[in-house]
A and B are shown apart, each in its own frame.
Chain A
Amino acid sequence: MLDPNQTPDANDSWNSPTEWLRGEGEANDVVLSSRARLARNIAGCPFVPRASRVDRVRSLDAARAAIMAGPLAPQMLWLNLHEAKILDRQILVERHLISKQLSKGRAGQGTGATEDPRGVAVSADERLSIMVNEEDHLRIQSIRSGLALAAAYREVDEADDAMERSLRLAFSPRFGYLTACPTNVGTGLRMSVMLHLPGLRLTGDIERVKRAAADMNLAVRGFYGEGSEAVGDLYQISNQTTLGRTEAAIIASLETEILPRVIEYERLSRRELTSRRRLGLEDQVWRAFGVLSSARLLTTEEAMQCLSLLRLGVLTGVIGPELCDVSRVHQMMLLVHPAHLQRALGVSLDQEQRRAARAGLVRGRLASRT
């Protein structure tokens, strides 16, 4: 958990579980986390991708003042990302508190640079984060463990109200909240869930779910959003349209139409695997366990893929509690990522060294209770 009184690079604060891997809330066997994100811009300022350095400094200052001198201030920690170390920025990406795009300083379509003025405010409980000068001046997001879309929306809605007390937001009665990319215009709301769907992948039904979601105009993406692969059987499902539907309608259609079905299909796949295809499931899970407990070199992708199967094994009872539990799997899912790995070990490592260090760390974590 982040401590506002600690410097952002204090080692301990990054070792605790982060919201998206807390493993609590409704349907947490399938839904890792729910996220609400509002895109907002300051009226009278050019959008970030077309803004000069002076404009970016102005919007950064205005947004920081609205957050850190407003009602949100007591719970928020501010970080200037153009001054932050690469490792700290990566840690924030791995904890899902900022986007890769903001970490690199690319304000949409590859424009911008790492020294461009930008920042983030993160709440102490790591649920709320407000990115400043991403593609839009403000990206307000809230993450909740498990299926909790309405709760996540309520938090960003309140943060938006708080920001509005000192900022005039760009809004048109016809098009709603105005955003740099017209695909976000209107409510500016993107609701998404991070799902763990190893059962559907193993039974081969994942493509059907993807097609069904696409038919309902929902986007199915990989681990890190747009254009990323589904590392570790982790998929994000989110609404694609933001204009012409109210916030509540967007949330309700995800929560009552598509998600209950996807969750149910995944649970059915897991039941099918544990009953009729038990040996095949056990083989997959134990092979993954074998790799994790004996490999000497591991990439992030391979580690995540094996941890996905280990999680499935724990949830289906193939792996007993004496060997591993879900919270330990979640801990490892975070620690195998490059920045967390280096932070946990307290050393800076190149890619090759990280593969060895990652394998060592996972072996150690798995062996510590046997």
Chain B
Amino acid sequence: MKCDQCDNEATVHEVTITNGIKGERHLCERCATAVQPVSLPIAQALKQVVETHARAAMKPGACPACGLTFAEFKQHGLLGCPDCYAAFESSLAPLLERAHEGGVAHTGKRPQHAGEVPNDPKPESAVLERLERLQRIRRELELAIKAEQYERAAKLRDELRTFGVESGGSDAGGQRQGHANE
């Protein structure tokens, strides 16, 4: 089919119904771009779609990144994307505090991109090392008792005491308190 306005092949076909009267236009791409009204209905439709979605995302309390509403979150208990935390910050904070027994802010490991906390970047490693060392001694103590190496067991018990920890070997009476406070 030829273009209504020139001799090129028509690629844009428009059907309009105005006051019950059907009208048709067939244009080539060049003429269609020149004649604005042809492309308008499509642009309008697109605009409408975009606006509807934008409105959905902008529903009161909705996350701007993923469109999840707080009501939806409450229904399923799952957030939609990392941005939800910022979007719902004020409503989430009391829920988090309850769920985490009073925990309100993160403390602990941080990814490198978040930057390091001033002072010691890994203040936890000393505590972990101490725990691992304790575990090794307790394991050795268990093995020593099993092998009836009582001298060695006594030595290990003393070592545990230097950590401020009761040995709690298989004969201990169940009282296991008094580890050093850090």
Give chain A's interface residues, CB within 8 Å of chain B. Answer: 25-27, 41, 43-47, 49-50, 108-109, 135, 146-151, 153-154, 157, 160, 164, 168-178, 180-183, 185-187, 189, 217, 240-249, 251-252, 255-256, 260-261, 264-265, 267-268
Known contacts: A241-B100, A244-B102. The answer to whether A182 contacts B79 by CB under 8 A is yes
CB-defined contacts of B168 to chain A, threshold 8 Å: 260, 264
CB closest residue in chain B, given A267: B170
Q: Is the CB of A248 within 8 A of B127?
A: yes
Partner of B81, one of A47, A172, A173, A245: A47
Q: Is the CB of B85 within 8 A of A178?
A: yes
Partner of A108, one of B78, B103, B128: B78
CB-defined contacts of B111 to chain A, threshold 8 Å: 164, 168-169, 171, 177
Partner of A50, one of B78, B96, B109, B132: B78
Partner of B103, one of A25, A154, A172, A241: A241
Best-buried of B96, B127, B138, B172 by chain A (most CB within 10 Å): B96
Q: Is the CB of A245 within 8 A of B128?
A: no
Partner of A241, one of B68, B76, B101, B174: B101
Map CB proximity to A onto B54-91 as digits: 1 under 8 Å, 0 otherwise: 00000000000110100000001111111001100100
CB closest residue in chain B, given A263: B168
Q: Is the CB of A46 within 8 A of B81?
A: yes
CB-defined contacts of A251 to chain B, threshold 8 Å: 128, 131
In the complex, how many angstroms separate the beta carbon of A41 from the nearest chain B beta carbon? Answer: 6
B contact patch SS = loop
List residues of B (96-148) whose CB comes within 8 Å of A's CBs.
96, 99-114, 124, 127-128, 131-132, 135, 138-139, 142
In the complex, how many angstroms separate the beta carbon of B126 from the nearest chain A beta carbon? Answer: 8
Q: List 18 contacting pairs A-B, 8 Å CB cutoff, sorted by A.
A: A26-B135, A26-B138, A41-B82, A46-B81, A50-B68, A109-B76, A150-B128, A150-B132, A182-B96, A182-B99, A185-B96, A243-B96, A245-B103, A246-B108, A247-B128, A248-B124, A251-B131, A264-B172
Q: Is the CB of A45 within 8 A of B81?
A: yes
Query: In the complex, A26→B104 CA distance in Å?
Result: 35
Known contacts: A147-B135, A186-B100, A267-B170. The answer to whether A246 contacts B179 by CB under 8 A is no
- Whether B22 is near chain A, meaning CB under 8 Å from some CB there, is no
Q: Is the CB of B99 within 8 A of A241?
A: yes
CB-defined contacts of A242 to chain B, threshold 8 Å: 100, 103
In the complex, how many angstroms separate the beta carbon of B163 from the nearest chain A beta carbon? Answer: 10
CB-defined contacts of A268 to chain B, threshold 8 Å: 174
Q: Is the CB of A186 within 8 A of B138?
A: no
Query: In the complex, A164→B110 CA distance in Å?
Result: 11
Q: Is the CB of B124 within 8 A of A246?
A: yes
Q: Is the CB of A150 within 8 A of B135?
A: yes
Minimum-distance CB pairs A-B, first 9: A244-B103, A176-B106, A170-B82, A243-B103, A248-B127, A243-B100, A248-B124, A246-B108, A26-B139
CB-defined contacts of B89 to chain A, threshold 8 Å: 174
CB-defined contacts of A181 to chain B, threshold 8 Å: 77-79
In the complex, how many angstroms separate the beta carbon of B124 from the nearest chain A beta carbon? Answer: 4
List residues of B (166-181) whose CB comes within 8 Å of A's CBs.
168, 170, 172, 174, 176, 179
Partner of A44, one of B76, B79, B82, B170: B82
In the complex, how many angstroms separate the beta carbon of A98 from the nearest chain B beta carbon? Answer: 20
In the complex, how many angstroms separate the beta carbon of A25 from the nearest chain B beta carbon? Answer: 7
- Whether B95 is near chain A, meaning CB under 8 Å from some CB there, is yes
Q: Is the CB of A252 within 8 A of B113?
A: no
Q: Is the CB of A187 within 8 A of B99?
A: no
CB-defined contacts of A27 to chain B, threshold 8 Å: 138, 142
- Whether B49 is near chain A, meaning CB under 8 Å from some CB there, is no
Known contacts: A151-B132, A164-B111, A251-B128. The answer to whether A244 contacts B104 by CB under 8 A is yes
Additional 5 contacts, C-beta under 8 A, given A50-B66, A186-B103: A148-B135, A149-B131, A178-B85, A241-B101, A247-B108
Q: Is the CB of B66 within 8 A of A46?
A: yes
Best-buried of A108, A189, A243, A261 by chain B (most CB within 10 Å): A243
- Whether B92 is near chain A, meaning CB under 8 Å from some CB there, is yes
CB closest residue in chain A, given B172: A264
Q: Is the CB of A180 within 8 A of B114?
A: no
